[in-house]
Structures are given as C-alpha cells and as structure tokens.
C-alpha cells in the first residue's frame, strides 16, 4: 500500500466517521422528538408497575391467576403482537371499534356501590349513555345497581362470573357455565335484560371463549383506547390520554370497580365536555350490531 493509497483510505475513514457521527446525532435527535405518549390500546411499559412482569396468558401458560387483573394489563402484549388495535378485527374476531363514527365508553368490573352511582351521575349530567361490563358476582351482590344502569339507558355486557383472566383456557363447558351464571345474575336483577356483549377479563381472548360467547348470542368486545385508569394515574392523566387518543369509532376502556376509581369518576368530568363536543357517544346497541 503506497502513501497515495493510504492517504485515500484515511480520507475515506474520516468521511465514514463523520457520517456515522451525523447519523448518530440525527438518530438521537429523532428519538428526542418522538413524543413519549401511549398509543391507543398499547401501553407505555415504563408506566406499568403493579403488573409489569405479568405475562399474557396463553394456552401454553396456564398458571392460575393471582387474582383479578384489570383488563388492559394482560391484553396489551397480545394486542400489540397481533396489531389488533388499529381499528380492524381484534383478537379472534373481537370488536375493537363501534363500527360507526360514534364513540363508546365502557366501564368494567362493577357494579360497585362506591363508584358506579357516581359514574351514573356524571353520565346523566352530560346526557351520555355508555356500556357496563359487569362481573357476575358483583351483579348478584348489587342488583339495585344493575337496575340503575338499565334504568338510565346504558347497555350491559357480560364480564364473566368472577373476573377470571384465565377463563379462555378452560373447557368450553366451564366457560359456558360461567357466562350463563353471570347472565342469570344480571337477569335476576333485571328480567329480560338484553346482554348482547361479552368482554373477556384481561382481554385474554381465546378461540373457545369467543366461540362460546357467540354461541350464547354475545359479541366479543375489546377496545382500542386504554388510559390504564386501573393504575390510578390521576384524573387529569386519564382524561388527557382519552381525549388525545380517541378517534371516530373508538371503544374506550374504563373501570368503575376493582380499586379506588375516584380518579376515573373525576376524569369523566374533565373529558366529557371535549368528547361530547367532538363525538357522538353511544351505548353499544343491544342487538350486538352497528
């Protein structure tokens, strides 16, 4: 290698180094410009604490549940993996949007004597109807709240007997018995109440649970906006996340039970003025179609 060649190589090396430095800083700049904002249906894992290490259940992971889990916690990994939150079909054909431009607020895990009446009050104040995904044993314990939900024109949704996030891994007979027991508790409070929707706890859908729910005349209902309100991040954060990410057709996941839900109640007062000005909010139709 002569001096001429080596000079050219050195120059080329300098160019490569300069380019690498430029690309590196551009990459760093780009990273810093990306807003650290959760996407609809997905969750910023950095904000997860309580369930950060909880894996999504799958047929190969049939460990018993540690107890009730909020719905967004388990579903996120599956939803991200399957790109189910972009407005199309969800996992195993579950619904993630309303199918129209209308937006649906959904309240899970109740009814609860502390928070469900407050949620009903705020919704009434704003003239909004919503959908309540109720847990069977809570319906049995608080039939008057099931009656209050129906009396205000909201839609009921079956959310399993005791919020079993592993329900989808059980036999079709057990799944069916669980869903029927829940519907029976709802109808003990409101005979002939239409129950056209089923939401799997944790969003942990499986083919058997979808199949059984549909066989019982219930449409599987997922969501595409999840402010992780069950983590109690504060009313403003919940409200801001919903108003920033809701789009036409969104199904918004909220909770009126399962912990201190005062933040969710207060978030409604923050978000409903804007949401009602931008969208028509609907209780999901009781015939399961839109």
Closest-CA residue to 255 (of 83, 79, 73): 73
Q: Per-residue DSSP letters for 68-123?
A: ---HHHHHHHHHHHHTTTSSS--GGG-B-B-SSS-BEEEEES---TTTHHHHHHHH
CA 247, 253, 254, 256 dihedral sign is: positive
> Is 222 annotated as catalytic?
no
Q: How far is the CB of 31 from Zn ion (least distance, A)?
A: 35
Cβ of residue 106: shortest distance to Zn ion, in angstroms?
10
Q: Closer to Zn ion at the Cβ: 212 or 279?
A: 212
Query: Which one of 163, 229, 255, 256 is the catalytic residue?
Result: 255
Shortest separation between residue 109's beta carbon and Zn ion, angstroms: 4
Regarding 226 and contact with Zn ion (CB under 5 A), the answer is no
Q: Which is nearer to Zn ion, 256 or 282 (CB)?
A: 256
Other CB atoms within 10 Å distance of the CB of residue 248: 14
Tokens describing residue 157: 């949704």
The residues in 153-172 that bind Zn ion, with binding defined as CB under 5 A, are: none
C-alpha distance from residue 112 to each of 132, 136, 137 (Å): 11, 12, 11
Residue 108 among the catalytic residues: yes
In the complex with Zn ion, the residue whose CB is nearer, 196 or 257, is 257
* Contact flag: residue 71 with Zn ion (CB under 5 A): yes
Tokens 């007997």 belong to: 161
Residues 179-218 that bind Zn ion (CB under 5 A): 201
In the complex, minimum distance from the CB of residue 159 to Zn ion, in angstroms, rounded to a whole number: 6
Cβ neighbours for 202, distance < 8 A, ≥ 6 positions apart = 57, 69, 70, 71, 73, 74, 75, 165
Residue placing its CB nearer to Zn ion in the complex, 128 or 204? 204
Q: How far is the CB of 133 from Zn ion (least distance, A)?
A: 7
Would you give the binding string for Zn ion spanning residues 86-125, x where CB under 5 A is met?
----------------------xx----------------
Q: Does 229 bind Zn ion (CB under 5 A)?
A: no
**Between residues 76 and 109, which has the closer beta carbon with respect to Zn ion?**
109
- The three-class DSSP label of residue 190 is coil
Binding site for Zn ion (CB under 5 A): 71, 108-109, 201
Q: Which residues are catalytic?
A: 108, 255
């Amino acid at each position: 290698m002569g001096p001429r060649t080596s000079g050219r190589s050195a120059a080329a090396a300098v160019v490569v180094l300069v380019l690498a430095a430029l690309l590196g800083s551009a990459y760093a700049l780009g990273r810093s410009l990306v807003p650290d904002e959760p996407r609809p249906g997905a969750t910023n894992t950095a904000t997860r604490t309580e369930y950060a290490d909880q894996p999504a259940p799958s047929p190969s992971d049939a460990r018993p549940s540690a107890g009730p889990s909020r719905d967004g916690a388990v579903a996120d990994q599956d939803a991200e993996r399957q790109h189910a939150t972009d407005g199309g079909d969800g996992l195993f054909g579950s619904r993630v949007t309303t199918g129209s431009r209308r937006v649906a607020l959904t309240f899970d895990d109740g009814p609860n004597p502390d928070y469900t009446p407050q949620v009903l009050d705020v919704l009434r104040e704003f003239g909004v109807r919503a959908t309540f995904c109720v847990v069977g044993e809570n319906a049995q314990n608080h039939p008057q709240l099931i009656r209050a939900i129906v009396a205000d024109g909201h839609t009921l949704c079956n959310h399993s007997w005791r919020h079993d996030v592993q329900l989808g891994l059980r036999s079709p007979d057990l799944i069916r018995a669980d869903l029927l027991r829940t519907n029976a508790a709802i109808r003990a409070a409101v005979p002939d109440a239409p129950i056209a929707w089923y939401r799997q706890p944790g969003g942990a859908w499986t083919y058997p649970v979808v199949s059984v729910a549909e066989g019982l005349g219930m449409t599987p209902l997922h969501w595409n906006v999840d402010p992780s309100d069950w983590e109690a991040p504060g009313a403003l954060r919940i409200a801001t996340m919903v108003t920033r990410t809701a789009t036409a057709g969104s199904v918004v996941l909220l909770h009126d039970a399962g912990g201190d839900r005062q933040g969710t109640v207060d978030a409604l007062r923050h978000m409903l003025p804007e949401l009602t000005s931008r969208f028509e909010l609907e209780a999901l139709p009781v015939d399961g179609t839109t």
